Amino acid sequence: MTKSTNSSSLVRLNIGGKKFCTTVDTLTRREPDSMLAAMFSGRHALCEDPDKGYVFVDRDGKHFRHILNWLRDGMVPTLADGEYPELMREAEYYQLLGLIEEINSALNARKEIDGLDAELTRTDIIKCIQSDRVRFRGINLSGLDLSKLDLSFVDFSYARLKNVFFSRANLQCAKFRDVDAEGSIFYNATLRECEFTGANLRGALLAGANLQSANLQDASLIDCSFCGADLRSAHLQTADLTNVNLEGANLEGANLKGAKLNNANLKGANLQRAYLRQVNFQNAVSCPSLAPFSSSPLLKFAFYRRPANARVHVLVLHNLLYQYVCSYIHNSIQHAH
């Protein structure tokens, strides 16, 4: 059956068993290129109930009232997060391009404002860092993408930085004192001489980051990944490095006094000249066993800053011991001559 093109004509719709009444004008005016507009343009035969006059559409009618309201007044409804994808599927089926665009805008706005409660946007940050002294102390920036920005010397102390993307950002000499940066991404970021004292970095990704001379004293670094990171001369006193991945990390000259390295992965890590007094290496995954050298007097030479009562597990120091052994042999040969 071909439907009349009279814009004031009443249209009865049966959408998956749910009944709706509207007009041809409502279905064709706002979205003239949509499937609904094409259906009621008068050019197509429609599946209509001959007794009651309802046009049947084999779709779930749950969100069709939102479709009609969009066509009537151009408003996107406020829905629960899980319902937006459902409405999006219906908008795509009916080819309502304007509604699709508005749903995407609503989702992006919710993610930035409601979902993460960030007080500033990436654009706001870019504007701020153009000034000489920048402070975001105590600000909530959770969830923002701050990757590849020059944030050197910025003060983030006491800020909420959960799940922030700092990948490849320049954060040299930035201050992160007592921040909550759980789950944040610092992949390949420059963090030289940064201050992280007392910070919560649980689960953060710092793989490939440059942390030379960074201060991470008393920081919570549980479950962090420092794979391949540069931690030379870093301050890690009494930091909690439980379950940390330090595979291939360079810790030369780092101060680990009193740090917790329970279950840490230290494969291939460089611990040369690292300060290891009172370090807890319980269940740490390390380099191959040094059992053949465990009784060697060279161990005392290797841990030259170790007091007699310190408990240091030598299994994690294969590379360090090897270099000291070589140095010892070389010096002995020199003295012999």
What does the pLDDT look like over 90-138, one tens digit per residue?
Answer: 998 999 999 998 888 877 766 655 445 677 888 888 888 877 678 899 9
Q: Determine what percent of the chain is predicted with pLDDT higher than 70.
A: 78
pLDDT at 13: 93
Count of Cβ atoms closer than 10 Å to residue 271 Cβ: 25
Residues 97 and 135 in one domain: no
Residues 255 and 138 in one domain: yes
Q: Are strands 10-15 and 18-23 parallel, antiparallel or unpaired?
A: antiparallel
Range of the domain at 131: 116-304
Residues 183 and 260 in one domain: yes
| 15 bridge partner residues | 18, 57
Residues 172 and 277 in one domain: yes
C-alpha pair distances (Å), 222 with each of 218, 273, 313: 12, 24, 20
Q: Is residue 22 part of a domain?
A: yes
pLDDT at 327: 52
Q: State the average pLDDT over residues 19-29.
A: 93
- Banded pLDDT at 70 (limits 50, 70, 90): very high
pLDDT at 29: 92
Residues 160 and 265 in one domain: yes
Using only C-alpha atoms, the chain has a radius of gyration, in whole angstroms, of: 32
Q: Is residue 335 part of a domain?
A: no
Distance CA 166, CA 149 (A): 8
Count of Cβ atoms closer than 10 Å to residue 5 Cβ: 12
Residue 199: burial class (beta carbons within 10 Å; 0-12, 13-18, 19+): buried
Residues 32 and 170 in one domain: no
Q: State the average pLDDT over residues 19-30.
A: 93
Q: Are 316 and 284 in contact (CB under 8 A)?
A: yes
Structural domain count, the chain: 2
Residues 236 and 294 in one domain: yes
pLDDT at 286: 62
Report the alpha-carbon angle 21-26-27, nearest 5. 85
Q: Model-level pTM?
A: 0.54
Task: Tell how far CA 79 is from the center of its chain.
Answer: 25
pLDDT at 67 exceeding the cut of 50: yes
pLDDT at 188: 93
Distance CA 184, CA 201 (A): 7
Which of 3-7, 21-25, 137-141, 178-182 bottoms out in mean pLDDT, i.e. has the lowest?
3-7
What does the pLDDT look like over 193-203, one tens digit per residue?
Answer: 999 999 999 99
C-alpha pair distances (Å), 27 with each of 1, 33, 70, 322: 18, 11, 10, 80
Q: Determine what percent of the chain is predicted with pLDDT higher than 90.
A: 53
What does the pLDDT look like over 152-164, one tens digit per residue?
Answer: 999 999 999 998 9
CATH of the domain at 184: 2.160.20.80
Residues 167 and 254 in one domain: yes
Task: Name the residue with higher pLDDT: 266 or 120.
Answer: 266
Helix (H/G/I), strand (E/B), else coil: 144: coil
Give alpha helix (H) positions in the chain.
24-28, 35-39, 64-73, 84-93, 97-109, 122-128, 298-302, 318-336
pLDDT at 152: 94
Residues 47 and 137 in one domain: no
Q: Is residue 322 part of a domain?
A: no
